[in-house]
A and B are shown apart, each in its own frame.
Chain A
């Protein structure tokens, strides 16, 4: 348009700013309204004696005292740590290997890609149920292998309180490593072909190129993967409910399940909110320093 061509640059910039502000307003309102207000409300409730319904009978830190004196909560936190570390590590490793495999220009690549990514399309509830059946001692894998003649074969982690968490882990890794594969494959495809040519000229073995040259170049992809996986770890709930129900005993209980059980069936919102607040803390501990580094520190100099 003729008028816009005459517009001075600063005014145009302002115009863009307003429209982008308008466009992001709904998201900002939701973010502030839902996240900040609701999170604040949860924290407030954690200092009250709320049962099924929120109330404001202040009890100070009583709920936190009870929380950390509750063995189920302590076990949940330990489970989350073990599960979280192993889950992220195993997903990264298996996802990377699958991506490297597909990167070899194999035949039926798109077929394999679908196969690897397929589990990710499944709901965690379905995943949990399928693996529960496969790990059932009298019907699942153990039974099949034993009937083929290997009598002493044992594979039923879910019935032992010592190994059940690893049974859950297998299902979770199976479900999520496809996603890491997809991200990693995109990363690998983004690596400049010249680098491969150069390393081939220098006579560096392929595995060394992958490990020492390509992998460090994929740092952004790795960070994205870790963030996505970490989000999955903190909110792990449906997989547990479908696969083990938190059992045997409390061996697969998770913090998210603790929160939901207490604010619904057990009618103890106060305790549930104290647990939810404890789940928020590590997130803040990670995000806090990051915000400081990204936004606060640069303005100082």
Chain B
């Protein structure tokens, strides 16, 4: 019905004048939680306000599902107008095959390379002088979100390292709370693993492992400690964890069922949507690690090439809109992420966001996420290993280490 109406409207507009042809721009994304939906609505509404083009929303739960759908649609010749990916190597083959729209005309006019920071956020978009994606935000992954009340009730201080956490967790458990709110989905298990990895080791180790794909690092004593610490966390989660969505786990911290959750800064949007106040009701601890490190990843939109000129115009318009200072401020405040440009108004930023911004200015604190260096294939192998290790306590650290070493050995 809707589609028919739109079709007639478009047809009508086309007959009246060729210059005002409007396009339906389908956008595939995985922003389905409460806070995320509010953020994506900002983009959709602002885009619809710009003119006759219309944002058609296709929300798919779970990033990996949304990305597979996009890949299938592009390969099958039924590409969407735009699609969300992570700032990573996830879409490099699409660029190589020339399936994505080169945004350089807009990018050069607006000077994207001058204002998008840090440069690691724009790098995955660039290939052979073209710009093929729009980074919309910077997400930092290493945060421990805490419920202040639960920690007060349990009589323990909020932990700043994994050792402190493991020491505090039994006391929290004794007080009748779940120490760690955990979502047992592959990507979340992997996420916590990465946070433990950087928390137990350091930046140099991180780069040796992911950037240089050092087999020595993969089989080292430090890596053993990572697996041991990660495995020790199992006993502090609840039985309902398998399959749980990240925002349901966040909700356990919000409602005081659980003491803490390891999640990226996107969890801030959930706390905000629940009306909680940063550093009063809930705490945000970068890490936990000796020295705060944040991997700076984020979300980026790609725009599949199309022969339809009016769609291409709409794509360029959306790309430009996503980076405008006003939208950057509005969108990222709702989403809980940091804007990709420094010159936006952040007066409404809360205490946790300010912490993140301060760390962003410290060049030593920011590191590049693993998936900027390894392919999705390798990434998937590691996710399978981590997921098996987490769910099969019978798997020894030794065998996990040897599998891990094998994966890094084969990594491209």
Q: Chain A: residues with CB nearer than 8 A to chain B?
A: 51-53, 70-72, 132, 136-138, 156, 158-161, 164, 241, 244-251, 260-262, 264-268, 271
Q: With A51-B93, A158-B242 in contact, is A265–B68 under 8 Å at CB?
A: yes
- With both chains docked as a complex, state the minimum distance between the C-beta of B262 and any C-beta of chain A, in angstroms: 18
| Shortest Cβ gap from A161 to chain B (Å) | 5
Please determine whether B388 and A71 come into contact, CB atoms closer than 8 angstroms: yes
B239 interface residue per 8 A CB criterion: yes
Task: Kindly report which residue of chain A lies nearest to residue B387, judged by CB atoms.
Answer: A249
Q: Which residues of B contact A71 (CB under 8 A)?
A: 384, 388, 403
Report whether B376 and A267 are in contact in the complex, using a CB–CB cutoff of 8 Å.
yes
Collect the chain B residues with CB atoms within 8 Å of residue A245's CB: 62, 185-186, 243
A156 & B239 in contact (Cβ 8 Å cutoff): yes
B243 adjacent to A247 (CB under 8 Å): yes
The residues of B that contact A261 with a CB separation of less than 8 Å are 64, 68, 380
Question: Is there contact, CB below 8 Å, between A159 and B388?
Answer: no
B residues neighboring A (CB under 8 Å): 62, 64-65, 67-68, 71-72, 75, 93-94, 97, 184-186, 239-243, 375-377, 379-381, 384, 387-388, 390-392, 403
Main secondary structure of the interface of B (DSSP, over half): helix
Chain B hits for A244, CB < 8 A: 242-243
Can you name 27 A-B residue pairings with CB atoms under 8 Å? A51-B375, A52-B71, A72-B384, A72-B388, A136-B240, A137-B239, A137-B240, A138-B240, A156-B240, A159-B241, A160-B242, A161-B242, A161-B392, A241-B65, A247-B184, A247-B387, A250-B387, A261-B68, A262-B380, A264-B68, A265-B67, A265-B68, A265-B71, A265-B380, A266-B377, A267-B93, A268-B377
Determine whether the beta carbon of A159 is less than 8 Å from that of B72: no
Bound state CA distance, A136 and B245, in angstroms?
A: 13
Min C-beta distance of A135 to chain B, whole Å: 10
Pairwise interchain contact A267-B375, C-beta atoms closer than 8 A: yes
- Asked if A265 and B239 sit within 8 Å, CB to CB, the answer is no
Which of A53, A70, A247 is the one whose CB lies under 8 Å from B93?
A: A53
**A158 contacts which chain B residues (CB < 8 A)?**
242-243
Q: Is the interface of A mostly helix, strand, loop or mixed?
A: loop
**Residue in chain B with minimal CB distance to A268:** B377
Apart from A247-B242, A266-B376: 6 A-B pairs, beta carbons within 8 A: A132-B243, A161-B242, A161-B391, A261-B380, A265-B68, A266-B380
Contact of A265 among B64, B184, B392 (CB under 8 A): B64
Give chain A nearest CB distance to B245 CB in angstroms: 11
Contact A267 B242 (CB under 8 A): no
Contact indicator B384/A260 (Cβ below 8 Å): no
Provided the pairs A52-B93, A137-B239, A138-B240 are in contact, do residues A247 and B391 lie with their beta carbons within 8 angstroms?
A: yes
Residues of the B chain whose Cβ atoms lie less than 8 Å from the Cβ of A246: 186
A152 to chain B, nearest CB (A): 14
CA of A251 to CA of B186, assembled, Å: 12
Question: Roughly how many angstroms separate A147 CA and B381 CA in the complex, as a whole number?
Answer: 41
Given A159-B241, A159-B242, A264:B387 Cβ within 8 A: no
CB distance from B108 to the nearest CB of A (A): 28
- Write the chain B residue with the least CB distance to A243: B243
Of B184, B186, B243, B388, which is in contact with the most chain A CB atoms at under 10 Å from its CB?
B243
Given A260-B68, A266-B377, A267-B93, A247 and B186 touching (CB < 8 A)? yes
Which residue in chain A gives the minimum CB-CB distance to B380? A266
Please indicate the chain A residues that have their CB under 8 angstroms from the CB of B390 in the complex.
Answer: 249
Q: How far is the CB of A132 from chain B (nearest CB, A)?
A: 7
B243 touches A249 (CB 8 A): no
A53, A138, A251, A266: the one within 8 Å of B391 (CB)? A251
Give bound CA distance, A260 to B380, whole Å.
Answer: 13
A68 smallest CB distance to B (angstroms): 14
Closest chain A residue, CB of each to CB of B62: A245
Q: Are A52 and B242 in contact (CB under 8 A)?
A: no
Q: Which residues of A contact B240 (CB under 8 A)?
A: 136-138, 156, 159
B186: chain A residues within 8 A (beta carbon): 245-247
Alpha-carbon gap, A247 to B241, bound state (A): 11
Chain A residues near B243 (CB, 8 Å)? Answer: 132, 158-159, 244-245, 247-248
How many Å from the CB of B240 to the closest CB on chain A? 5
- Inside 8 A of B93's CB, which chain A residues have their CB? 51-53, 267
CA distance A27 to B179 in the complex (A): 60
Residues of B contacting A248 in the complex (Cβ-Cβ under 8 angstroms): 184, 242-243, 391
In the assembled complex, the Cα of A164 lies from the Cα of B403 at a distance in Å of 24
Rank and list the top 8 A-B pairs by shortest CB-CB distance, nearest first.
A249-B391, A264-B68, A248-B242, A52-B93, A266-B380, A159-B242, A248-B391, A265-B68
Task: Tell whether, in the assembled complex, residue A264 and residue B71 are in contact, meaning their CB atoms are under 8 Å apart.
Answer: yes
- Chain A residues, CB < 8 A from B403: 71
Q: Which of A132, A246, A266 has the most CB of B within 10 A?
A: A266
State A268–B186 Cα separation when bound (angstroms).
18
